Structure 1
């Protein structure tokens, strides 16, 4: 007996909302009752059906079709539009409220645009709450939004992709709108101002990969909490956000652009993420001084920054990545819970960060952005950086060297302390075999760990793994007996391979589990890309004599 169908319609529809579009369609053949549930289901998701109808052309831009592909696409698109049209018209005749309308479609001509206008009108007529429209087309033939969409008083979430917002009504009636996401759109400055000012409930606003703007001004929105401005295609010159209610701001610019940022009036900002924003030191520090309640800060690819100074007792998360000109950091954050540093090693003049650190060291780069082979100073900077904390949770070192540039003897003469202990040590080494010994001595001279992982994603890494195994198992302890601080060979008690992990991208279920040590040894010459896990047991003296 079918007891489920005796439940109220809204309960059945809630259960169906967790199913895929295909599974929802399959329920229609169960019984007459289930067919009625199906046709009255208020969630319309036409992403999957579009791919069923269009097939191999679904992920290709229609503007790049050859002649035969264009003919095939028109036929498939016609069948898809008939399918969608039948659904929407049938539902509209029921005079029910629509919960969600999500559509993926490719356009070739004006006829397709007119059918889109009709569907949007039907959705708004049925008081749709979530409207998600993804139009796959060329930049020069974007879908012009009909004005009716700006009077959709029932819509609380609006997502538009591949659309042109060239002109809009003088008055916007999106009275229920809380989330507005615009991606791959053409939009004008005055439209941004209208949308953010005339939507009284707007809390989340996102612009991603857009055209038509040189200036963005978002001033005194009513309830805005989240704002994201990502990858402008045109020359965006300035961003001004004056929103006391704003809690999270994400700005991702372009590496070759300089954007003037004015967000000083966002005094309650808790999360700030800056990527590819060319701020100089003074601008960055002036910006930081405005945010007294900031809790989460991410600074990535800010190519002009040379010094980062942060002092805050509210900051809890800090991430600094790929700031190629960075020379010094000064951080006083006594309540920080998470620190991620992904960059070349630099000076740490003052650091008060009691939480565990995660460090990802990479090559320094020159003024042209080219990687510089690691030298003695690079290793010494890394050792000083590690010495600023006794809680290194992860030390990941990605070293690329094209020549034998590291002077091991000079490095050893510069050492005045034993290597720092870290919880986990990860290594990715891309160097000629003649550099293996010197680079490994340098790396293990600055830090050591019981958990040692070597990443493999290139043939040269297999060569290093083979060399490493021989070096670890047949180490010579008579190399530097006369030195006060000896090399790692004198302190290593035992070396074991624990297993091999395949990368998450591998789909085979049989390769999801890590290989044990016996399987690793059997497959040694044929190991694919992945992570070799090793166990190192050490015996360091408590102090130097």
Structure 2
């Protein structure tokens, strides 16, 4: 018999509520997987569940949706007062009963809703001071009750309180849209492992003090921040993952003195930066495994000095590094390479026997050559103007694919259909190549074609497919149309593909068409279709 059921004298069964016998900390752990609203709904189950909800160590206040709901009943100032009153009474109970606060999330993205007034038309000094004092008090309660995680999306002009800098139990701190002024007192964040700053105005000395004094800090993220020119990762630091995005000014500097770094992501604040701001001593980047650079300032010389230092590099992502013209990489550990919008590249040579993924994405430059000496899965994604697709253009495209031993996918985006003379002609005549022979077409898994703006003429579509099938033999060909009349364009492509079956120029034997009805396509301008080809 099931031990959770007991049979009475009348033959009826009574249930034994084992779940209610669980201790509070286990039930708290269970409801921690629910969002805030769902967790609070459990209070209607019983008196004990009301107690569980009221003592949950995970406290979340999302101010951005509450006013929208309550404004049906009360004006905005009364809504603000009621919400802040509820939040304050909740926090005061944690202080009175000395309840554990494991996580505190305070989300105040809209100052108008929080303060109950228009920030552009009202004198905010008194309201901001009153509100800031309340938030300071809640943070003080959380610190006293051993908070482990604090997420604070700050309201208008809020400054981080000094009390937080003595939170010994704090392991994770995420701040957004607030200010961190300089504090010359003691900083005791002995347990801090994760620090995330987003749109924060932080004084340079303060930022570097926190980094140097938090000896257990492993994950540091500084995005869209201001107030500093130099950031230093000292030799005593154990930071493993560093993300610095759109925060360093053009004359700023990153000084890396620690050898613990395993992941570094950096993005320039300016699209036209002309200098590489990272400084490090030889041998300190030997443990770096992931390097993600969105930097227009890095040059061939900078990259040439940097790459030999990366003895353990496994993933390399270069985005918008338009000053790079040549990349030479020789690495035993390297597994993934992504080159995005590095439009100045002319020569790419990669010798990496462990390479498993390679992707190049950018404008098609006939001068560019790529050579990879591995069987990596390669994806070539290029943007091409139709006026550049002529016989020599297809020849250069095939020549570019020849340097890739194993090309898994070719992605081509067509836009700006007209050249300077106003024509959209795509022409391919194989006889124009003369005696040049690059061998048979490359076998690839998928050919992805994206067509934007204006429609192509029927002759251009025929030449387009003819040149592509001379270049490669895909197992799957997929189209994405972003056109005024995508249905008509899809019909043209289907007709052209059917004409190429058993054509003497191409060994195409059979095409499996999807169940597509072009007449039912809406005016959204976007259509995605896919066919499987049998050669």
Separation in 2 of the partners of 1:460 and 1:329? 39
Matched residue, 2:429:
409
Residue pair 2:201, 2:227 contacting (<8 A) in 1 also: yes
Deviation of the 1:460 alpha carbon = 5.3
Q: 1:80 to 1:378 in 2, by over 3 A?
A: farther
Q: 1:466 to 1:72 in 2, by over 3 A?
A: farther
Matched residue, 1:529:
526
Segments of 4+ moved more than 6 angstroms? 525-528
The structure 2 residue matched to 1:146, chosen from 145, 161, 164, is 161
Matched residue, 1:507:
none
Residue pair 2:180, 2:202 contacting (<8 A) in 1 also: yes
Deviation of the 1:522 alpha carbon = 6.2
Residue pair 2:455, 2:489 contacting (<8 A) in 1 also: no
Deviation of the 1:86 alpha carbon = 1.3
Residue pair 1:298, 1:319 contacting (<8 A) in 2 also: yes
The structure 2 residue matched to 1:34, chosen from 45, 49, 54, is 49
Matched residue, 2:398:
383
Normalised TM-score (structure 1):
0.83
Matched residue, 2:144:
125
Matched residue, 1:450:
475
The structure 2 residue matched to 1:260, chosen from 252, 259, 277, is 277
Structure 2 stretches of 5 or more lacking a match?
Answer: 1-15, 116-127, 419-423
Matched residue, 1:299:
318
Residue pair 1:130, 1:157 contacting (<8 A) in 2 also: yes
Matched residue, 1:495:
511
1:352-501 matches, cutoff 5 A: 352-363=373-384, 373-374=388-389, 376-403=391-418, 404=424, 406-409=426-429, 412-413=432-433, 416=437, 417-430=439-452, 432-434=455-457, 435-459=460-484, 461-475=486-500, 486=505, 490-498=506-514
Separation in 1 of the partners of 2:532 and 2:92? 65
Residue pair 2:486, 2:525 contacting (<8 A) in 1 also: no
How big is the alpha-carbon RMSD for the aligned residues of Structure 1 and Structure 2? 2.6
Post-superposition Cα deviations, 1:375-409, rounded to whole Å, max 9, x if no partner, equal 55543332122222342222111122422364423
Residue pair 2:391, 2:428 contacting (<8 A) in 1 also: yes
Q: 1:99 to 1:311 in 2, by over 3 A?
A: same
Post-superposition Cα deviations, 1:486-534, rounded to whole Å, max 9, x if no partner, equal 3xxx422222323xxxxxxxxxxxxxxxxxx1x5456357686342011
Post-superposition Cα deviations, 1:166-187, rounded to whole Å, max 9, x if no partner, equal 2123431111100000000001
Tell me how many residue pairs correspond in the alignment.
486
Separation in 2 of the partners of 1:181 and 1:94? 31
Structure 1 stretches of 5 or more lacking a match?
Answer: 59-70, 365-370, 499-516, 539-545
Separation in 2 of the partners of 1:407 and 1:256? 37
Deviation of the 1:412 alpha carbon = 4.9
Post-superposition Cα deviations, 1:184-228, rounded to whole Å, max 9, x if no partner, equal 000122122111100011000110111122222222243111110
Matched residue, 2:96:
93
Q: 1:357 to 1:72 in 2, by over 3 A?
A: farther
Residue pair 1:271, 1:296 contacting (<8 A) in 2 also: yes
1:214 aligns with 2:229: yes
Post-superposition Cα deviations, 1:45-76, rounded to whole Å, max 9, x if no partner, equal 112xx233222899xxxxxxxxxxxx955443
Separation in 1 of the partners of 2:396 and 2:70? 52
Residue pair 2:391, 2:432 contacting (<8 A) in 1 also: no
Deviation of the 1:289 alpha carbon = 1.3
Separation in 1 of the partners of 2:482 and 2:81? 45
Matched residue, 2:11:
none
Deviation of the 1:440 alpha carbon = 2.6
Tell which structure's C-alpha radius of gyration is larger. 2
1:135 aligns with 2:160: no
Q: 1:124 to 1:411 in 2, by over 3 A?
A: farther
Matched residue, 1:192:
207
1:17 aligns with 2:32: yes
Q: 1:377 to 1:189 in 2, by over 3 A?
A: farther
Residue pair 1:436, 1:464 contacting (<8 A) in 2 also: no
Separation in 2 of the partners of 1:373 and 1:525? 31
Deviation of the 1:132 alpha carbon = 0.4
Q: 1:355 to 1:15 in 2, by over 3 A?
A: same
Matched residue, 1:52:
65
